[in-house]
Amino acid sequence: MSTVPAGETTYDATEALAASTLCAAFQRTARGRGDAVALRLADDSISVTWTEYADRVRALAEGFASLGVERGGAVALLMTNRPEVNLADTAAIHLGAAAFSIYATNPAKANVPLIANSGAKVLVTEPAFLEVALKTRELAPTLETIVVVGPDRGTADLTFDELAERTLDGFDFDAGWQALEETDVVTLVYTSGTTGEPKGVQHTHLSLLHGLRGLEEHDHVTPGGRVLSFLPMAHIAERWISHYASLVFGHTITCCPDPKQLAAALTSARPTRMFGVPRVFEKLAGAVEGMAAADPEGPLADALAAGLARVRAEQAAGTSDAHAADDGLTEAQRATLAAVRAKLGMDCLEWTCVAAAPSTNAMHETYHALGIPMLQIWGMSECVFSCITPADRIKIGTVGHQVPGVEVKLAEDGEILVRGKNLMSGYRNEPAKTAEAIDEDGWLWSGDVAVQEGDFYRIVDRKKELIINSAGKNMSPQKIEMAVKESCSLIAQIAAIGDGKLYVTALISLDEEAAAAYAQQHGLPNDVAVLCKDEGVRAQVDAAVQAANEGLARVEQIKTYTILPTAWQPGGDEVTPTMKLKRRVITEKYEQEIDAMYAG
């Protein structure tokens, strides 16, 4: 596949990879990439070259410095994925300050502990979130200045352009960033978590660059490629894979402020590297499967079937090789699948990866069948990039093995332990919690439970999420949930219930897009509250539950379930922004529905 647009050249990222700080890497990359586009929107209403990027970072850094931002400080960012996030972030880290993003779904009250913990004096936002930003300052008076993106200041203190115009006597931009060390903190990642207050995970130049070097060593990254930034920047995966990686490898970042416009952004960006959470890839796979189902005798259905047969045979034999030249398909089948990849904007991908939540084997098989080998990675906010599937030995359902320079082992109960330079430097201002997470020998206790298959790891659950029924039987809720989701695209989320109970039940949330398509097909209102009662919907869900039960042990089988009248939204009550279930919240919020399933 082509990975670089015609007329554009790559550059050598060797010097940037060897840099001691991301600032030094950025400066090298900006010089090497020059007039190539660094940051853009899908419609090119904003397009920033690397030279312009470097110039704006210099100006914005002086503006931040004039507001009191200094080495060891912090800058808060409350914005959607847009070029100004990258500009502000890169400017802040050149001062030695930690730039961090706040989830756009947060109410002002939830931002207060982040501001207090970080010590941020400045918050950069956009008009849609200005009211929340101002309310945050009202509740957290240590926050001094609100900067808003756009031409109108409104009730903010400064516009983004006015920030860049500010000066400071004696300010020496180059001396400042050149004095930074690999141990300086680059960012704070406030763990969204499923319980408790967020903790401020600190990552340094050392930890972030160590991961990028490991990525390059594991599977060469083509410099000057293209990435799409669409997941929340408050999550370490998006920050690391799009933003920080671009500072080293010179990627062009296409920012997608509205995830609902992902399809259009994909065809505009034509990324060479793409990371996403399972739900994003599931929806794209569902669209392809729907196209094939609409014409079961057509070329797409035939090509997909051939691709599925191939990948299943390879997996049955052991592993798949993404680099294999012979895929066993006919020229016509290859052409059909190539056309679909082009239609999706996924025809230039050299690396596709999924993480952050459990993903189904069926989804992986669909992408492999399409000719888009999908890798899985494993990490956490606290250790970023720790395990990855090797492209030449893909074993679906595993997260591969540890990356170069990282140690991984399993505790007696299967908990994953990680040690290496990729670890956080600690939770900000919370040494006791840091000591709870990282033992005296330097091992991070992840809380994730895995089994080892040769040199590969398969994640089986979260240690704190195991279901222990009234008979004392330990069960994996993720195993049960994934078994159901495998065969029903109408299901967006499922929460297995059964802790302390006689048997397992489930709460099911419908997928809004799949439900809308079903409603249109059957002449029904596009209303999840109505569709959850529809006999056809219930029949599909019931079939998925029964199919799952056939492959589960008797004690794991779902005895009854409830289809909820509302969809669970990322960052809402029930799931985190990265779509992890908030199990404690779910059991409390749906206490009546759960009690009803166990009545009698």
Tell me the per-residue pLDDT of 381-394, one tens digit each, with 9 for 90 and over: 999 989 999 988 99
Convert the pLDDT of each residue in 169-192 to its tens digit.
Answer: 999 999 999 999 999 999 999 985
Q: DSSP secondary-structure letter at 508? A: E
Q: CATH number of the domain at 146, please.
A: 3.40.50.980
How many CA atoms, within 13 angstroms, populate the side-chain half-sphere of residue 39? Answer: 24
Give dist(CA 212, CA 452) in Å, integer.
25
Question: Considering the domain boundaries, does residue 506 fall inside one?
Answer: yes
The torsion angles phi and psi of 337, rounded to 5 degrees, stand at -70, -35
pLDDT higher than threshold 50 for residue 508: yes
Domain boundary among 319, 342, 372: 372
**Whether residue 21 is found in the same domain as residue 113:** yes
**Whether residue 206 is found in the same domain as residue 241:** yes
Model pLDDT, residue 323: 75
Convert the pLDDT of each residue in 319-378 to its tens digit.
Answer: 788 777 677 889 999 999 999 999 999 999 999 999 877 788 888 999 999 999 999 999
**Whether residue 474 is found in the same domain as residue 551:** yes
pLDDT average, residue stretch 479-490: 86
**Whether residue 341 is found in the same domain as residue 417:** no
Question: Considering the domain boundaries, does residue 9 fall inside one?
Answer: no
CA distances from 451 to 59, 353, 433 (A): 50, 21, 27
pLDDT average, residue stretch 534-544: 93
Domain boundary among 442, 465, 488: 465
Convert the pLDDT of each residue in 234-250 to its tens digit.
Answer: 989 999 999 999 999 99
Model pLDDT, residue 192: 58
Q: Interior CA angle at 91 toward 36 and 99, to 5°? A: 120
Domain boundary among 430, 445, 465: 465
Question: Considering the domain boundaries, does residue 377 fall inside one?
Answer: no
Q: DSSP secondary-structure letter at 323? A: T
Question: Considering the domain boundaries, does residue 266 fall inside one?
Answer: no
Model pLDDT, residue 6: 37
Domain range spanning residue 419? 382-465
272 contacts 225 by C-beta, under 8 angstroms: yes
Q: CATH number of the domain at 492, please.
A: 3.30.300.30
Q: Of 88, 202, 73, which Cα lies nearest the Cα of 144?
A: 73
Mean of pLDDT over the chain: 91
**Whether residue 306 is found in the same domain as residue 393:** no
Q: Which residues have CB under 8 Å from 222's CB, separation 6+?
A: 3, 4, 10, 249, 272, 350
Number of domains in the chain: 4
Give dist(CA 187, CA 200) in Å, integer.
9
Centroid of chain to Cα 1: 25
User: pTM surpassing 0.85?
Assistant: no
